[in-house]
């Protein structure tokens, strides 16, 4: 393994004030950013070069850049947490590094070496320490991104690529905080198909989810649930989160990773926590008909979504044109909220980390 690169730091002449940072932390999710970003550039001749941290500013991109026309882009999302002693920590960042590399491979982008990914996050955090908020449930969200930038309308992988990491102080993902959300089952739309890009974290998957997500909102729901593209029968995931169902006997069922579902870091962590509790955890094909039936019969007592941004969020209602079912009494379930506490206690250093998931940054 090669050694971690050093990102040359050029600080902004106009950093935000303490008041500016505080205002940013209470802005809607992902709309306010820190003073700096980390960047590196790739081309075939030089490989990765130009590792730098500099003032965040609009970037110059040729209008023919590959990413703008053919969506050659992959990204990640992870959070830095401030503990009560002031120290700063990342949660399983090597998982995000590995997933970015897998996504990059699918999108014919050069992989960012793990040590470069980690160095970009950690060195940016060193510069932006003051931006990691300390209020409950807040964190500094990191958005590593990789994209093809060559001015070239030919449909082929870009010979020039840019990697960058943005940082945004964030609070709760859903405006209402932690309360049960309602889910709309996508009609006639799929986010992924066999052999497609479903398990890659790439822009196009999210572009495809925007219209169904809009329809979810029009139908009074917070998020959209996608079914498999082959049979339109099996539950896959939400627009930006994985999903799990809790049965009355304590077993937890979640869709298996078929290649069309994003393998969530939170999903994997939750499965580990559940297995450590001695629970029966089943990764399988979960038919919408069964889900709906088992919710209506009361066999499924809790349903929840999980992902970095929203952590673990209870689902209170599942809706489609032909049915609407309420999960349990529609409130937040005990297992869901207990898991949420267990996970956030590890992330915020309030509990032991028996799995070795936490990386100390400073």
Q: Using the minimum distance from each CB to ligand PLP, give the nearer residue, 240 or 328.
A: 240
Contacts with ligand PLP by CB under 6 A: the residue count is: 12
Q: How far is the CB of 267 from ligand PLP (least distance, A)?
A: 6
Q: Which of 21, 48, 67, 77 binds ligand PLP (CB under 6 A)?
A: 77
* By CB under 6 A, residue 308 contacts ligand PLP: yes
Q: Using the minimum distance from each CB to ligand PLP, give the nearer residue, 255 or 333.
A: 255
Segment 147 to 166, residues that bind ligand PLP, using CB under 6 A: none
Which residues 6+ apart lie within 8 Å of 27 measured at CB? Answer: 169
Q: How far is the CB of 15 from ligand PLP (least distance, A)?
A: 29
Largest CA distance in the chain: 62
Q: Which of 133, 307, 314, 333 binds ligand PLP (CB under 6 A)?
A: 307
Q: How far is the CB of 333 from ligand PLP (least distance, A)?
A: 19
Q: Using the minimum distance from each CB to ligand PLP, give the nearer residue, 53 or 78.
A: 78
- β-partners of residue 305 are 243, 313
Distance CA 89, CA 142 (A): 12
Q: Which residue has the tokens 């069309």?
A: 260
Burial class (CB in 10 A: 0-12, 13-18, 19+), 187: middle
Segment 207 to 266, residues that bind ligand PLP, using CB under 6 A: 237, 240-242, 262, 264-266
Q: How far is the CB of 320 from ligand PLP (least distance, A)?
A: 20
* By CB under 6 A, residue 71 contacts ligand PLP: no
Q: Using the minimum distance from each CB to ligand PLP, give the nearer residue, 143 or 293.
A: 143
| 147 HSE (CA, 13 A, CB side) | 24
Segment 267 to 296, residues that bind ligand PLP, using CB under 6 A: 267
Q: Using the minimum distance from each CB to ligand PLP, give the nearer residue, 262 or 301.
A: 262
Q: Which residues bind ligand PLP (CB under 6 A)?
A: 77, 237, 240-242, 262, 264-267, 307-308
């Amino acid at each position: 393994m090669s050694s971690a690169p050093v990102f040359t730091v050029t600080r902004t002449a106009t950093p935000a004030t303490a008041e500016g940072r505080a205002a940013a932390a209470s802005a809607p999710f992902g709309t306010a950013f820190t003073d700096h970003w980390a960047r590196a550039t790739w081309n075939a001749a030089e490989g990765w070069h130009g590792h730098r941290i500099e003032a965040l500013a609009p970037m110059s991109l040729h209008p023919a850049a590959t990413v703008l026309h053919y969506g050659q882009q992959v990204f990640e999302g992870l959070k830095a947490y401030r503990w009560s002693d002031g120290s700063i920590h990342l949660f399983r960042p090597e998982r995000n590094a590995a997933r970015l590399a897998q996504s990059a491979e699918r999108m014919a982008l050069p992989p960012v070496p793990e040590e470069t990914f980690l160095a970009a996050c950690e060195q940016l955090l060193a510069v932006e320490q003051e931006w990691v908020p300390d209020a409950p449930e807040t964190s500094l969200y990191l958005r590593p991104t990789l994209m093809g930038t060559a001015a070239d309308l030919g449909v082929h992988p870009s010979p020039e690529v840019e990697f960058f990491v943005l940082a945004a102080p964030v609070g709760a993902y859903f405006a209402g905080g932690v309360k049960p959300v309602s889910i709309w089952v996508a009609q006639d739309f799929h986010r992924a198909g066999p052999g497609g890009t479903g398990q890659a974290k790439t822009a196009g998957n999210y572009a495809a989810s925007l219209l169904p997500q809009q329809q979810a909102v029009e139908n009074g729901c917070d998020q959209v649930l996608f079914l498999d593209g082959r049979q339109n029968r099996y539950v896959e995931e939400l627009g930006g989160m994985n999903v799990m169902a809790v049965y009355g006997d304590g077993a937890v069922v979640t869709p298996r990773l078929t290649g069309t579902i994003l393998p969530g870091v939170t999903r994997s962590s939750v499965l580990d926590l559940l297995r450590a509790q001695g629970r029966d955890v089943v990764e399988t094909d979960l038919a919408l008909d069964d889900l709906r039936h088992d919710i209506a019969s009361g066999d499924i007592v809790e349903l929840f979504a999980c992902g970095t941004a929203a952590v673990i969020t209870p689902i209170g209602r599942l809706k489609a044109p032909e049915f609407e079912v309420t999960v349990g009494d529609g409130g937040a379930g005990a297992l869901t909220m207990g898991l949420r506490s267990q996970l956030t206690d590890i992330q915020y250093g309030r509990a032991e980390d028996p799995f070795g998931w936490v990386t100390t940054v400073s």
